Amino acid sequence: MARPPVNAAQRTKTAPHAGTHGTGPRLLVKAGREKSLLRRHPWVFSGAIERQDGAMRAGDTVAVEALDGRFLGWAIVSPDSQIRARVWSWSPTERVDEALIAARIERALARRARVLPASTSLRLLHGEADGLPGCICDRYGDQLVVQLLSSGADRWRATIVSELTRQTGLRHVYERSDTEVMALEGLSPRNEALAGDEPDLPRVIEENDLRYSVDIRQGHKTGFYLDQRSSRLLVRQYANVSEALDCFCYTGGFTTNLLAGGARHVTAIDSSADALALARFNVETNGLDASRVDFVTDDVFKKLRLLRDQAKQFDVIVLDPPKFAPTAAFAEKAARGYKDINLLALKLLKPGGLLFTFSCSGGINRDLFHKIVAGAALDAGVDARIVHHLAAGPDHPIATAFPEGEYLKGFAVQV
Ligand code: SAH
């Protein structure tokens, strides 16, 4: 039976805690701030909290309640983070325990088996969208690589690792929790083997029938940008052209697909000489013709200006820059950076040419990115139209209740 609403002032700290979710510590959210939780958005920001009842430490599971006493969810607290708690369960009768984590992993693996049945290199766990906030697991052949980026993931590390090995049958797990968000969570970075052997260097993986060497210990993210699987394949379909440009090419994910799709010449630019060396190696590994590629170690902002001054023109351009805006606070500065490179790229396109442009900034949503690209086209003096909406592949799902999950967005734009 529903309880009558209780005014916050009537509740005392020692009041017996009725309901199905017990008497443990709890977070009460401010009036109105329960709305996003009722819509199953899993983040409780520090500014949304009215008060805390009971002691709680990083990694503890607590009940989140509305001021009227309504149960909202079981959340794991991160006392040092702006995201003060993340909901791991919406059910008052559930518990965050080994069984819940095992079930979440089982369902995540079953979902991958439906959407990418033949792939052995893919993301198996994608955080909030798989009901495991802050838990990432990428599979590279028989090697698993985890990123445990929240207090909850940190607390449940042993269970997550043992369930992953048990359920996948794979033995090797490496942890790459060394991103900048660790500091925001108050966690220390980790880069080490958790189970099985140290990973081979480099490890060869397969994506869309092409092979790549991946540096699991030192490469970006968990070693490879698995999130560009679908867009790389799409780019391949448009690559039977004479001149292509791959900006921010890293280890050649797009360059290899441009060549595989028939591009007669590719200019591949990255500021990292190590990344370019691996890109060249990946081109050769696939039996593609490295003599068709100019590997350019340079700053893309600078090189695009040079190409413009040289009046170079391209049929296909890929712009896949690093995260300019990790959070919304950096959005304005990031927007200027995106506009700059997109404006230059649009000017370098031949008539009918295609620009594949991306933003992986959490602080810039698809709408804003659309506006930035539109502004770039306007200032470049070109008429442009979107021919494809681009996003991460199906192994990087986005929970409908959690739009922040769509960190990678892009457009194929034709002039
Ligand atoms: N397109 C790649 C992923 C790009 S990651 C793929 O499909 O795998 C972003 C890359 O941009 C990194 O390799 C980084 O070295 C490079 N980078 C960052 N800032 C740069 C700059 N100003 N100029 C050139 N490269 C840059």
**Residue 371 CB contacts under 8 Å (≥ 6 apart), including other chains:** none
Cβ(271) – ligand 1 distance below 6 Å? yes
Query: Which DSSP letter does residue 355 get?
Result: E
Q: Domain spanning 98-195: which CATH class is it, in words?
A: alpha beta
Report the C-alpha gap between 336 and 342 in whole angstroms.
10
Contact 74, 21 (CB under 8 A): yes
Domain coordinates in residue numbering, the chain: 8-89, 98-195, 208-414
Question: What's the rounded mean pLDDT across residues 189-201?
Answer: 90
**Residue 122 CB contacts under 8 Å (≥ 6 apart), including other chains:** 112, 116, 138, 139, 226, 229, 393, 395
Contact 362, 393 (CB under 8 A): no
Cβ(189) – ligand 1 distance below 6 Å? no
- Catalytic residue from among 135, 137, 249, 360: 360
Q: For 57-70, what is each residue's pLDDT tens digit?
A: 999 999 999 999 99
Q: For 278-299, what is each residue's pLDDT tens digit?
A: 999 999 999 999 999 999 999 9
- How much is the mean pLDDT over the chain? 94
The topology (CATH level 3) of 8-89 is 2.30.130
Q: Is the pLDDT of residue 154 over 50?
A: yes
pTM for the model stands at 0.93
Question: Lowest mean pLDDT: which of 244-258, 291-305, 315-329?
Answer: 315-329
320 alpha carbon – ligand 1 mean position (Å):
7
Cβ(228) – ligand 1 distance below 6 Å? yes
Nearest in space to 20 (alpha carbons), one of 4, 1, 46, 42: 1
Nearest in space to 139 (alpha carbons), one of 121, 153, 127: 121
Q: Whose CA is nearest to atom 15 of ligand 1?
A: 272
Q: Is the pLDDT of residue 319 over 50?
A: yes
CATH number of the structural domain 208-414? 3.40.50.150
Cβ(300) – ligand 1 distance below 6 Å? yes
| DSSP codes of every residue in 374-404 | HHHHHHHT---EEEEEEE--TTS---TT-GG
Report the C-alpha gap between 26 and 3 in whole angstroms.
18
Q: For 376-395, what is each residue's pLDDT tens digit?
A: 999 999 999 999 999 999 99
Contact 252, 279 (CB under 8 A): yes
Per-residue confidence band for 328, with pLDDT thresholds at 50, 70 and 90: confident
* Res 43: pLDDT: 97
Q: Is the pLDDT of residue 208 over 80?
A: yes
Q: Whose CA is nearest to atom 6 of ligand 1?
A: 253
Q: For 6-31, what is each residue's pLDDT tens digit?
A: 444 444 433 434 456 878 999 999 99
